[in-house]
Amino acid sequence: MNKDLQIAKKTVQIEIQALKKLSSSFNRSSHFSKAVNLLSKMKGKCLVVGVGKSYIVSLKVSATLSSLGTPSVAFSANDLQHGGLGAIQKNNDVLLIFSVSGESLELNSILRYANRYNISVIGVSCKATSMLLRYSTIKILLPRVVEAGHSLAPTSSSLNFLSWGDSLAITCMKRRKWTNKKFVTTHPSGTLATSLIQVKEIMAKGKEIPLISANKTMRSAVKEMSKKKLGLVCCKEKNGKLNILTDGDLRRHANNLYKKAILKVCSKDPTWISDSATALSAIEKMNYLKITSLLVARNQDINKKIKNIIGILHLHHCLSQGIK
């Protein structure tokens, strides 16, 4: 192994040891749960604050908190000192401050302001006697760790801050019972959101469903198919059973088509899917079966022999949402 790879491997090993020390520290402190309680009950938002590299950490922690159901914004300590303190709602918001030493001069005026107006502060530091922890409502003491490469730049300590922040965000998410459905509402774009879209959100429904009686003429069926533009029409028998007539069926029976009865031409066993299934699972089903549409029934009816149709999901419905 060359020298560069040895250094890289050693860096990862040092940071793994730092994470192990962080994990063990949770066994010795009840302050983490106090922080979760505070954020879970707050009426406003969490302002995540840091100086230098800790500010970069605060950006990530704040983004994760907001993403998982805890309203949050990030500020550098410098910005807070120069007008940013006006963003704090004094009776509703919580300050979450990261600092390895806890002695950064930029924190002094922020802590005095918080103390003056009784603003709750969660202080996260690696120094038990630091100014930050002395003036914090909830004191989070993280273990001192060896920085990778024994450098002056924060490496292992920044990683521990990030991991602790992820732990906080995920625990708050569980406490708030943040569901996938709620997650989608704050992530309307991107792969994560599209993977959770349900069939009922994008299917054709109501008057958009092409539906006729199986006793109607073939001409009526073609007219309904052309009108609704889904490439099929549902044909309902007297007993309630649904069949489908597709544009493929029309092509296969093109000769003397209008003289033929619908039930002689249509497909007798259409493929169904639950309205609560994800659109991603629906498109996987369509790709596997080499079809372009699925009939949709309510989840509680999906295993019944005769189902009530509540929608039709076409391949294009999925593609229009970026689901492939």
Domain boundaries, the chain: 3-178, 199-319
Q: Sign of the C-alpha dihedral, residues 108, 109, 110, 113?
A: positive
Determine the Cα–Cα distance for residues 197 and 281; give it in Å rounded to an integer.
10
> Which residue, among 53, 18, 50, 58, has the nearest Cα to 142 in the 3D structure?
18
Determine the Cα–Cα distance for residues 295 and 309; give it in Å rounded to an integer.
7
- CA angle in degrees (0–180, nearest 5) for 20-56-122: 65
CB burial class (10 A; 0-12, 13-18, 19+) of residue 54?
A: buried
| CATH fold label, 199-319 | CBS-domain (3.10.580)
Per-residue pLDDT of the chain (324 residues; tens, 9 = 90+): 799 999 999 999 999 999 999 999 998 778 999 999 999 999 999 999 999 999 999 999 999 999 899 999 999 999 988 888 889 998 899 999 999 999 988 899 999 999 999 999 999 999 999 999 999 999 999 999 999 987 778 999 999 999 999 999 999 999 988 776 677 667 666 667 777 889 999 999 999 999 999 999 999 999 999 999 999 999 999 998 999 999 999 999 989 899 899 999 998 889 999 999 999 999 999 999 999 999 999 988 888 888 889 999 999 999 888 887
- Is the CB of residue 71 less than 8 Å from the CB of residue 39? no
| CATH fourth-level superfamily of 3-178 | Glucose-6-phosphate isomerase like protein; domain 1 (3.40.50.10490)
- Is the CB of residue 81 less than 8 Å from the CB of residue 55? no
pTM over 0.85: no
- CA angle in degrees (0–180, nearest 5) for 302-306-309: 65
